[in-house]
Amino acid sequence: MLWAQPANPQTVEDNIENTLSLFEKWQQGVIDWLTDSGTWEMILIKAIKIALIVLITRIVIRVVYRMINHTVMKREKNRMGMNPRRLLTVGKLLKNVTSLVMNFIMILLILSEFNVNLAPLLAGAGVVGLAIGFGAQSLVKDVMTGFFIIFEDQFAVGDVIKVGQFQGTVEMIGLRSTRIHSWTGEVHIIPNGIITEVTNFSLNNSIAVVDISIAYEENVDEAIDVMSKALGTLPERNENVVNVPQVLGVQMLAASEVTIRVIAECKPYTQAGVSRQMNAEMKKALEDHGIEIPYPRLVTYQRMEQGGVNHGA
């Protein structure tokens, strides 16, 4: 059976004295460090450097914020009638990214003033970023594509666009996906990463093209004059028509008809409705002036028993 040996009182006293001696040396070292003029000079210099780093960072952030606001306001003026929330979203996103990057750089510079080794921190951040990039490639692609769609103003909420086989009105633009509402009622949610080609029908005015056919027996000049007068007041009756429609003249000579082409400049993506109205009004005008619109006719020949031929239409 083992018994604990009693501690030597002399050894305990020596340990206590050594501990007190070390504490006194540490205390004296702290006092000497605090009373040294070089220490306060170094602290003052580092404090000034840190203050300058913080001040310069704030100035840079303010300057970048002003540049972002100027760019957003310029784009908003260049494009009338667009949803301002989209530009505000872009501006806020850019400001958040700027603030994050500048504050990160500021923290690194402050740590360098305290002689902190930044190499492990940067290496760790690089490894984490690489891992996130490999783990969420599709998400990163969608977000980056969505950012450039918004920043480059490729299309806006309310625009009519065509992406691949999908066509409709843009209801929502996000960094992750875009929502399109087709005219037949379907809602298409498209990831931004797969949007490679976009056709935007809402950037410029559209052209309504209408072809009207008349019979060969009719006077072409009279028909053109009738159609011009009938459509002369169309902009006053339809707010989507920008200018007075133009009757270009004879477009084609077919087997049984003469085709006259009429065009009208109208607001973006309103050409279908304008074309229907132009067709209706020109048909009525031609009928009122007795100008025949050709239609298919069937002619029959009937042979008589005596050998004659009876013609009938």
pLDDT for position 13: 64
Asked if 275 and 209 count as a contact pair (C-beta separation under 8 A), the reply is yes
Q: Provide the pLDDT confidence category of residue 263 given band limits of 50, 70 and 90.
A: very high
d(CA 204, CA 269): 9
Distance, first Cα to last Cα, the chain: 136
What average pLDDT score do residues 119-146 get?
71
Of 35-39, 84-88, 153-157, the range with the highest mean pLDDT is: 153-157
d(CA 238, CA 229): 16
Count the neighbouring beta carbons within 10 Å of the beta carbon of residue 150: 20
- For the stretch 100-113, pLDDT in tens is 888 888 888 888 87
pTM (predicted TM-score): 0.54
| pLDDT higher than 50, residue 186 | yes
Q: CB-based burial of residue 147 (10 Å sphere; 0-12 exposed, 13-18 middle, 19+ buried)?
A: middle
* Dihedral, 151, 154, 157, 160 alpha carbons, nearest 10: 180
pLDDT for position 171: 85
pLDDT for position 32: 65
Length of the chain in terms of residues written: 313
| pLDDT higher than 70, residue 165 | yes
Q: Provide the pLDDT confidence category of residue 84 given band limits of 50, 70 and 90.
A: low
- For the stretch 236-260, pLDDT in tens is 888 889 889 999 989 999 888 899 9
What average pLDDT score do residues 106-125 get?
76
What average pLDDT score do residues 262-267 get?
91
- For the stretch 203-227, pLDDT in tens is 888 899 999 999 888 889 999 999 9
Average confidence score pLDDT of the chain = 79
Residues 6 or more apart from 70 whose CB is under 8 A from it?
none
| pLDDT higher than 70, residue 191 | yes
